[in-house]
Amino acid sequence: MAPLSSPLAPIEAARNLLERISTPALLLVAVSGGSDSTGLLLALHEVLRVSGRDDVQLHAVTIDHALRPEAADEAQAVQSLCRGLNIPHDILRWNDKKPRTGISAAARLARYRLIGEVAETISATAIVVGHTLDDQRETIAMRSQRSAQAGMPGLSGMADAVLYNARHWVLRPFLSVRREDIRDYLAAKGQGWFDDPSNEDDTYERVRVRKLSRDAEPPSREPLLDRTELASRAAAFVSGAVQAYPGGLIKLSADCLGDDPAVIRYALTALTCVAGGRAYPLAAESMDRVMAFVTAREPGRLTAGRVIFDRRKDGLYLMRENRDVPTITVAPGETARWDERFEIVNHSLAPVTVSGGAVAHGEDTTLTTVPAGVLKRAKLSQPRVTPEGAGQGEADLRSITMRPLLAPYDLFLPRFDLDLANAIALSLGRGVYPQLPLQSLW
């Protein structure tokens, strides 16, 4: 397989991004003080300075996770560097109580949340981060260890662009740049960096994989291209096969269930996450079981990933199973997430309770085509809104807004899946996600 790409010099990678970014642009560069992000900031600054361009501006942000005492001094050092480059810079500190387990994942979510706040404040065109070719190699190695199936989509590695919180594009222009070359670039400029001691701590999976994969071959471009093409075909499948009903019920047309199994599997994996309110896909073994059920073309029901798959003559119905469906209270003027499937906005003057149960569908004529058994079962897990303390009475739905959520995509949407996510969003009656702020991909 062909290499992902020949390794690029830091300046070349920075130039590739700046030649493609839609202008005028304000790029928010996340800089930790480590070699990768410091090299990214300096390379972008150098390309803009040498070219004399003024249609792209840089703004930097550093997140102090408050996990190491020296982190505050490192953030101040980054601020001094930015001051010398005449680049605006913000320091934000993660002051929340730290979890006892899963600290890396929690820190990552906090980091993106804080960076996103700055991006929102300054109306950034995009966020730029310093993930490298080395990071990509490690990511693919970790995912390979977790999956015995060589064709799994995750083996394509990190996307070169990810949409965060359905609002901010995060760009990774250094995915074709080796860390060694970044450090050589910084050394040539007389610029130092900070090494995080956690990068050598074998407690973390990535560190263990890094030490084992330092001499591994560069990742291949083929899985990346395969996933992009597969996602595009899955998007076309969803556009032609999927019909969504009120309350989260999804139908796949029987005529389309004989299509390419790889395409159906990719689309169905995402649809299962949406129907079940799950951010992460089913394990490969569970999806194998679902696909065996789907391709058998026999009527019946199967439950997996909080989703009931109900096969009828006219198609395959997906609905949230009636188990562990939450009950929440939404105060007047408040916005809340319910079951990771709906965003509820209470425009009324009184609190409302949102629970599972039959939802009022009004005069929706599309439901007349749904088998009675499917509709009865689907209603058990659909959102029911009642005024607080009002027994079983329904609230005035005109004062309540319910917006479908796409659990696998609303927080992090890899560029691979943009067309597929848009196809699902449109089928659910939602608007499409923001487009990449690039004139072409690098």
Query: Do residues 404 and 386 lie in contact, with contact meaning Cβ atoms separated by under 8 Å?
Result: no
Q: Are 128 and 40 in contact (CB under 8 A)?
A: yes
User: For residue 96, what are its two tokens?
Assistant: 């929340």
399 is in an annotated binding site: no
Alpha-carbon gap, residue 103 to 117, rounded angstroms:
21
The strand pair at 56-64 and 89-93 is best described as parallel
Tokens of 336: 């809340």
Q: Is 32 annotated as a binding residue?
A: yes
Handedness of CA 335, 317, 165, 101 (dihedral sign): positive
Phi-psi region of 247 (alpha: psi -120 to 50; beta: other; left: phi over 0): left
Any known ligand binding at 33? yes
Which letter does DSSP use for residue 260 in this model?
Answer: -
Interatomic CA distance for residues 84 and 234, integer angstroms: 49
Residue 231 near residue 224 (C-beta atoms within 8 A): no
Query: Are 409 and 417 spatial neighbours (Cβ–Cβ below 8 Å)?
Result: yes
Distances (CA, A) of 282 to 86, 97, 324, 404, 432: 48, 30, 18, 20, 25
Distance CA 188, CA 211 (A): 26
Residue 93 token pair: 């500190």
Q: Which amino acid is at 410?
A: D
Which candidate, 170, 416, 407, places its Cα nearest to that of 273?
A: 407
Residue type, 292: A
Instruction: Tell how far CA 36 is from the center of its chain.
Output: 22
Q: What are phi and psi of 308, to 5 degrees?
A: -95, 125
Cα 194–chain centre separation: 29
Say whether 34 counts as a known binding-site residue.
yes
Rounded Cα gap, residues 299 and 293, in angstroms: 9
Q: Is 156 annotated as a binding residue?
A: no
Q: In 3D, which of 183, 129, 184 has the Cα closest to residue 158?
A: 129
Residue 383, preceding bond cis, omega within 30 degrees? Answer: no
Tokens at 426, concatenated = 């449109």
CA distances from 122 to 3, 57, 64, 117, 373 (A): 38, 11, 19, 9, 52
Binding-site residue positions: 32-37
Binding-site residue positions for ATP: 32-37
